[in-house]
Amino acid sequence: MRVAENGATALAVMTQETPSLVVLDLMMPGMDGFEVLDWMRAEPRTRGVPVLILSNRQLTLEDVRRLERHARVTLQSKGILSDDEIATALHQSLFGKALPAQTGALVKRTLAYFHQHYAQPLSRAEIARAIGVNGNYLSEIFRQELGLSPWEYLNRYRIKKAKDLLDHTDKSVTAIAFEVGFNDPAYFNRVFRKIVGMSPGQYRKFS
């Protein structure tokens, strides 16, 4: 396994040896993750190497279109998974049965939808309708690909955004709750405490 933090370095390594797994960020100096992935899939030796993308990039549908034509690519957002969950994701990428490319594309489109609409109140039915699949099916393939339910991911992503606002603004906890998509500040506090281990106020005080 090679963890690539610089696109040009990643390519230099892969011209000399074939890795068992590549971990990429979409935003890297030299060559970005999209370019590295395109190069890998154009080369016979690396065409089948699994790729795990860990990135802070706020995904767009265009980003997903650039990724979804490639098989054996799993996409995770930084700051969402625990260390143990990342280890599980690495193991799954190496040894698990990958979803077909078209099915994995549905999961990636769901991620992009969350990244673009997390600030809005979203229902399970609305999410499934936006992706164009049955809600139960979406939950099944999402969990198979990422190890979380869509709702768990959305809550974690919203809390990640809330932490950024607590760190870098003076906005009230209630205002932040609404800004990241929670229409009930009390529920926001419960979710925040469950994920972070402390209340939003405590997090702001000690961060």
The pTM score is 0.90
Q: Per-residue confidence of the chain (207 residues) as pLDDT tens digits?
A: 555 557 677 777 788 889 999 999 999 887 889 999 999 999 999 999 999 999 999 999 999 999 998 989 999 999 999 999 999 999 999 998 889 989 999 999 999 999 999 999 999 999 999 999 999 999 999 999 999 999 999 999 999 999 999 999 999 999 999 999 999 999 999 999 999 999 999 999 998
Alpha helices in 23-134 (DSSP H): 33-42, 61-68, 83-95, 101-117, 124-131
Quote the tokens at residue 156: 């974690």
Domain boundaries, the chain: 2-148, 156-206
156-206: CATH topology is Arc Repressor Mutant, subunit A (1.10.10)
Highest CATH level, class, for 2-148: alpha beta
